[in-house]
Structure 1
Amino acid sequence: MDIPVAENILGTLGAVRSSIQLLPQIVINYRRHNTEGLQGSMMLLWAAAGVPLGVYNIVEEFNVALRIQPQILTVLSLVTWAQCLYYGKKYSVAKCITSIALLLLIFGGIETGLIFAMKEAKSHALRWPLILMALLSACLLGAGVLRHYWDIYVHRTVRGISFFFVGIDAAGDLFSLVSVVFGSTINVLGMVIYGTELVLWLGIFVCGGVFNFLPWVTTRAKRREAMQKPVSLPPMPSSSTSVFRTASGSEVVERQGWPRVA
């Protein structure tokens, strides 16, 4: 397979997976009508991370899929953040929609301005502004995931987050990472952006295995063992103390009120 074709295919796969990554989480939040354990700050950080990531991918002329991906990430992150406001803080629907629209306008204006500024800097052979964009996006994405690490440390469990969502996001980061590797030139900063988040998601999987899966397996094993254990019945009483003992003849006579015959 030609390298440009592989780059586009892998980039598209990574972008599609990263674009729909939050949909399972959004559906779960809607079905259970709460966002307990899901960190709203993480969603807001991700929404903000889409701005420098979009600037970097567009100015560096990544494939089209990777240019669109940050925009979808920002939108879905804000939708999930609005769910945290609605279910967690009991904001009204109108207030949530207004918050999303306002932030989209702010983020869109900032990204558009930065794209023109970064292109101008690139035309004058200035690399540090783009490096700053790459580092900023990596830090914001990483900080969002690290917020869940703190919640795991406090509660000793992975809660409020869909492992299906984690798996989709990790796969998206992996495909995007490989797509950058297959580019005409290996972009180290692009590898750092997607590689950092991939490693952090793998850590979430490990924590889920330790704090969620292993206790679940142990509990099921103990329950199954208790069900299979034979039940020991208490010993039957002896004949002298049997509850089924009939009264003697003399006792019957006395009960009837008849005189006892010697």
Structure 2
Amino acid sequence: MDIPAAANVLGTLGAVCWSIQLIPQIMVNYRRHHAVGLQPSMMMLWAWAGVPLGVYNIVEEFNIALRIQPQILTLLSLVTWCQCFYYQRKWTVTKSLAVVFHIVLLMGGIQAALIVGLKIVKDKHPEVEWPMIVMAVLSAALLAAGVLRHYWDIWVHRTVRGISFLFVGIDALGDVFSLVSIFFQPKYNVLGMVIYGTELVLWLGVFACGGYYNFCPWVRDKWFSSETSRDTVQETATESSSPESNGRVALHELSSSTSVFRTASASAEGGNDDDVGIRLRSRRSNTDQHDNTAVP
């Protein structure tokens, strides 16, 4: 089949995005040495989604990039799945590799058998379409189920946690390129567009949840913190200039942990509110003693 250059280029871009999509998530897990919030069931569902998706793309003779794309998805998903069990359930490296090796053999055998069998069916009985429909629906359902598993975590904890937004953005971009690539195929393929379109819509929903639960509260906290800081500065200037403040500790001399929002300086000093109160009472006691000794 003569595949247009646009389909090849866009399919390659989609495959590149899917090749690196999970790398940011893998690096985040490695740096923080845990995978809290990341759903291992999501990664395993994606790994299995690569099996029917690979069968569908190969049998339907999509461009070479889209044929390789599901294999990369399966590999990176299994690596991330291993991280979840290695960091959270304390699996050893040997146990993780042994389990993944057997899963890869099983997936590879199933995919190879389905490709050979469905190619024979397509060549000898082109009017039989339901096996390919099953592959398309199964891959779309597994991809969607993987993302929906994270929706449950968002609903329970009311935040988007444990997942890299960079990974989400790259994955969504890969869906966009793959979707447009199928549009330029010689034969218009509705099921292929449904597969990638379903996941794209769900990722956009995760972005929306991140904006609502993570970004908006962060902006409100920053705004309220700046307003509180300005009010504190004004109160400090007023109290330090008043006669009643003589012989007392001014607010600007206190640790930042006494303000509404704890800042990095408080953590660096290793102090807390109780420590600040003790230091304040000590300094006031010393001041009173000095005043008493100064009076004849």
TM-score in terms of structure 1 length: 0.89
Counterpart of 1:107?
107
Which residue identity lines up with residue 90 of structure 1 in the other structure?
K
Residues 172 and 200 of structure 2 are in contact (CA less than 8 Å); yes or no, is this contact kept in structure 1?
Answer: yes
Counterpart of 2:9?
9
Q: Distance in 2 between matches of 1:181 and 1:224?
A: 49
- Verify: 1:166 aligned to 2:168, yes or no: yes
Counterpart of 2:190?
188
Q: Distance in 2 between matches of 1:170 and 1:61?
A: 23
Counterpart of 1:83?
83
Counterpart of 2:257?
none
1:200-215 aligned at under 5 Å gives the runs 200-215=202-217
Following TM superposition, by how much is the alpha carbon of 1:68 offset from its aligned partner in structure 2, in angstroms? 0.2
Counterpart of 1:236?
243
Counting matched residue pairs gives 242
Which residue identity lines up with residue 221 of structure 1 in the other structure?
W
Determine which structure has greater relative contact order: mean sequence separation of CA pairs < 8 Å that are 6+ residues apart, divided by chain length.
Answer: 1
Counterpart of 1:36?
36
Q: Distance in 2 between matches of 1:68 and 1:115?
A: 14
The alignment yields a C-alpha RMSD, in angstroms, of 2.0
Q: Deviations over 1:104-159 (max 9, x none)?
A: 00000000000011111212121100110000000000000000000000000000
Q: Distance in 1 between matches of 2:101 and 2:120?
A: 29
Counterpart of 1:260?
none
Q: Distance in 2 between matches of 1:186 and 1:20?
A: 28
Residues 121 and 127 of structure 1 are in contact (CA less than 8 Å); yes or no, is this contact kept in structure 2?
Answer: no
Counterpart of 2:277?
none
Q: Distance in 1 between matches of 2:58 and 2:67?
A: 5
Q: Distance in 1 between matches of 2:3 and 2:43?
A: 34
Q: Distance in 1 between matches of 2:133 and 2:201?
A: 21
Following TM superposition, by how much is the alpha carbon of 1:174 offset from its aligned partner in structure 2, in angstroms? 0.2
Residue 239 of structure 2 aligns to a residue whose secondary structure is coil
Residues 34 and 87 of structure 1 are in contact (CA less than 8 Å); yes or no, is this contact kept in structure 2?
Answer: yes
Q: Distance in 2 between matches of 1:14 and 1:151?
A: 28
In the alignment, structure 2 segments of 5+ residues that lack a partner are 245-287
Q: Distance in 1 between matches of 2:90 and 2:151?
A: 25
Q: Distance in 1 between matches of 2:209 and 2:239?
A: 44
Counterpart of 2:152?
150
| Aligned mate of 2:179, from 159, 177, 180 | 177
Following TM superposition, by how much is the alpha carbon of 1:9 offset from its aligned partner in structure 2, in angstroms? 0.4
Residue 108 of structure 1 aligns to a residue whose secondary structure is helix
Counterpart of 1:70?
70
Following TM superposition, by how much is the alpha carbon of 1:162 offset from its aligned partner in structure 2, in angstroms? 0.2
Q: Distance in 2 between matches of 1:3 and 1:23?
A: 30
Q: Distance in 1 between matches of 2:3 and 2:100?
A: 39
Q: Distance in 1 between matches of 2:198 and 2:163?
A: 19
Larger radius of gyration: 1
Q: Deviations over 1:16-51 (max 9, x none)?
A: 101110000000000000000000000000000000
Residues 12 and 65 of structure 2 are in contact (CA less than 8 Å); yes or no, is this contact kept in structure 1?
Answer: yes
Which residue identity lines up with residue 220 of structure 1 in the other structure?
K
Residues 58 and 115 of structure 2 are in contact (CA less than 8 Å); yes or no, is this contact kept in structure 1?
Answer: yes
Residue 199 of structure 2 aligns to a residue whose secondary structure is helix
Q: Deviations over 1:183-232 (max 9, x none)?
A: 11210000000000000000000000000000001101111111112114
Query: What is the percent sequence identity of the aligned residues?
Result: 63
Q: Distance in 2 between matches of 1:95 and 1:25?
A: 22
Q: Distance in 2 between matches of 1:201 and 1:102?
A: 30
Counterpart of 1:138?
140
Q: Deviations over 1:52-73 (max 9, x none)?
A: 0000000000000000000011
Residues 24 and 164 of structure 2 are in contact (CA less than 8 Å); yes or no, is this contact kept in structure 1?
Answer: yes
Residues 46 and 144 of structure 1 are in contact (CA less than 8 Å); yes or no, is this contact kept in structure 2?
Answer: yes
Which residue identity lines up with residue 30 of structure 1 in the other structure?
Y
Q: Distance in 2 between matches of 1:179 and 1:143?
A: 24
